[in-house]
Amino acid sequence: MTSMLDAVVVGAGPNGLTAAAELARRGFAVEVHEAHDTVGGGARTEELTLPGFRHDPCSAVHPLGIGSPAFRAMPLARHGLQWLHPEVDLAHPFPDGTAAALTRSVGESAMTLGPADAGAYRRLVAPFTGRWDTLAADFLRTPWDGLPRDPYRLARFGLLGVQPATWVSRRFQ
């Protein structure tokens, strides 16, 4: 005899799994369906080209997941979740053979921009450096959770995010 379900979640990506876990935590009977052989959705890592060379087939913002209040509330590491961080998160090659690279280090990232732009990059990210936990909690929270902990920094971060690319390009050589 089949038991009745309260919810069926289609997709075992981060959002689907989080929704299913939260529903189950609240006592609902939940079933998750995934089309791929592995769970993780766009946040999974796969060897797509060369052996040992790992790719994120979809996700561009999965590093935000590590700061998610929902993910932090679940014992994911106990169940095998391991966040992988590449040495270089992204890079942009230039015609002269050099490249600008974004890493987890502000200093390393700034050095790849060269001496003329390293300072501009440091000034751009300085208001947010070392404040990730507060900033992430503010922009990942729901509106009914009260006021942001740092509304000024949250507004500053948001305003930078909506600027056109030309605004950013004027700050660099």
| pLDDT (tens digit per residue) in 14-52 | 889 999 999 999 999 999 999 988 888 888 888 889 999
Whether residue 125 lies inside any domain: the answer is: no
What's the pLDDT score for residue 63?
A: 66
Beta strands in the chain (DSSP E): 7-10, 30-33, 46-47, 54-55, 90-93, 99-102
CA distances from 126 to 78, 83, 167 (A): 35, 25, 17
Indicate whether 146 belongs to any domain: no
- pTM (predicted TM-score): 0.68
Range of the domain at 6: 1-85
Least confident of 57-61, 73-77, 166-170: 57-61
Within a domain: 30 = yes
pLDDT at 81 over 50: yes
Please check the confidence at residue 100 and state whether its pLDDT lies above 80.
yes
147 in any annotated domain: no
Q: Quick count: other Cβ atoms within 10 Å of Cβ 44?
A: 18
When pLDDT is averaged across residues 128-139 and rounded to a whole number, the result is 84
- 115 within some domain: no
Q: How many domains does the chain have?
A: 1
- Structure confidence at residue 60 (pLDDT): 63
| Residues sharing a CB contact under 8 Å with residue 164, sequence separation 6 or more, in sequence order | none
Say if 119 falls within a structural domain. no
Indicate whether 19 belongs to any domain.
Answer: yes
| CATH code where residue 32 lies | 3.50.50.60
Question: Distance between CA 65 and CA 5 in Å, rounded?
Answer: 28
User: Which residue has 């993910």 as its token pair?
Assistant: 71
pLDDT higher than 70, residue 62: no
Tell me the pLDDT of the chain averaged across its residues: 87
Euclidean distance between CA atoms 107 and 122, whole angstroms: 8
Percent of the chain at pLDDT above 70? 95
Is residue 38 situated within a structural domain? yes
